[in-house]
Amino acid sequence: MQRYPANPSGKIKHYYLRSTRQSGRVVEYMPCLYFEAKIDFADVRSRLCETCSTSNAVDIYPLDEETLWTEDMVRGVEPSSIRASAPRQARFRPLPEFVDADTIAQAETQYFHYLLRYFKKRIYRNFALNVYSSPGETAEDFMARCLEMFSEPFRLDLDNLHEVFERRLGQVKERYQKLIDWGEFDSPRRSSQFKSILHKASERVEKMFLRAELNLKPIPSTPVHASPTRFELEERLHSLEMEAYKSIGRLLSAYQEKVRNIDEYIVHPNLKDIHLVRTCILWMPDEAHEP
């Protein structure tokens, strides 16, 4: 093996990936093709506007125009670990003789095809809101933002539902208040007891709506106050409370489903979006070349 790599004619540049092994040991280096590219994403639908960088190395072998690179053939490289000067403690495998400027040009074309097929930005979309996540926003953060966006319409629907049950409670109160006013009960104590039952039931329904908030927590299975009923009024009010609880639960479930209605939206670059920054021969230490 050569002590230093051959320096072929032409304008092909050579760089070296820093070894992670302890100094003082001779490290074997092998040549690879190296590419750096900047990719401009500008997706109209999601309004994604972002510039990304990517750096990759590919083993050197005779190129076949009909064979396209697959994901397992291309490895990522950290640009900050690349050096311009060759390491001292190193052995270099020979650079294949067929590597020249034309080979590099063909490889660049292959790399463009590779990026068009495999390089992508993964963002998230909420169907109900028709909104997309921002660059770098995680699925959890995006869902939390959707939850916040749904809070206002949920509160409006909850208020409308509250008004429905307030009217129904009002109708029950009106009926029994008339019975009280007409002296249908046999004692003032019974009248006071019914007023107390109506008041407490009204308070419980009020608290039920006030405490309801949009979140993604499971809905509790034990809903409302349930005590042994002695009067028709208690049965009617308990039934009304149960119905209010279930209605709030259905509304909350519907909004939870809207919040969770998220899928991945994949954006691929177009050819005009890809800008090749650097192509060279990258000498990689054997430990970096291992899968």
Burial class (CB in 10 A: 0-12, 13-18, 19+), 53: exposed
Give CA–CA dist 202/179, Å, rounded. Answer: 18
Q: Where are the beta strands (DSSP E) in the chain?
A: 14-17, 27-43, 48-59, 74-76, 82-83, 90-92, 121-126, 131-132, 262-267, 274-285
Chain centre distance of CA 104: 38
Compute CA distances 227 → 197, 230, 240, 243, whole Å. Answer: 11, 9, 14, 16
Chain centroid to CA 159: 31
Kindly write down the DSSP assignment for every residue of 8-57, as one continuous string.
-SSS--EEEEPP-SPTTS-EEEEEEEEEEEEEEEEETTTTEEEEEEEEEE
Q: Which residue has the higher pLDDT, 283 or 180?
A: 283
Cα angle value 137/139/144 (rounded, 5°): 85
pLDDT of residue 236: 85
Dihedral sign for Cα 170, 175, 180, 182, please. positive
Beta strand pairing call for 48-59 and 27-43: antiparallel
80 is written with which tokens? 């900050």
Position 4 pLDDT exceeds 70: no
- Cβ atoms 283, 16 nearer than 8 A: yes
Structure-token pair, residue 183: 């002296």
For residue 7, what pLDDT band results from cuts at 50, 70 and 90?
A: very low
At 185, the amino acid letter reads F
Instruction: Write down the domain spans for the chain.
Output: 14-120+272-289, 135-262
**CA atoms within 13 A of residue 183's CA, in its CB half-sphere:** 0
Query: Tokens for 85?
Result: 């000067």
Q: 226: pLDDT confidence band, cut at 50, 70 and 90? A: low
Cβ count near 40 (within 10 Å): 14
Q: Residue 195's pLDDT band (boundaries 50, 70, 90)?
A: confident
The pair of structure tokens assigned to 135 is 């660059």
Range with the poorest average pLDDT among 69-78, 112-121, 172-181: 172-181
C-alpha R_g of the chain: 35
What average pLDDT score do residues 162-183 get? 79
Across 93-97, 117-121, 221-225, 273-277, least confident range: 221-225
Question: Which of 166, 167, 193 lies closest to 179, judged by CA?
Answer: 193
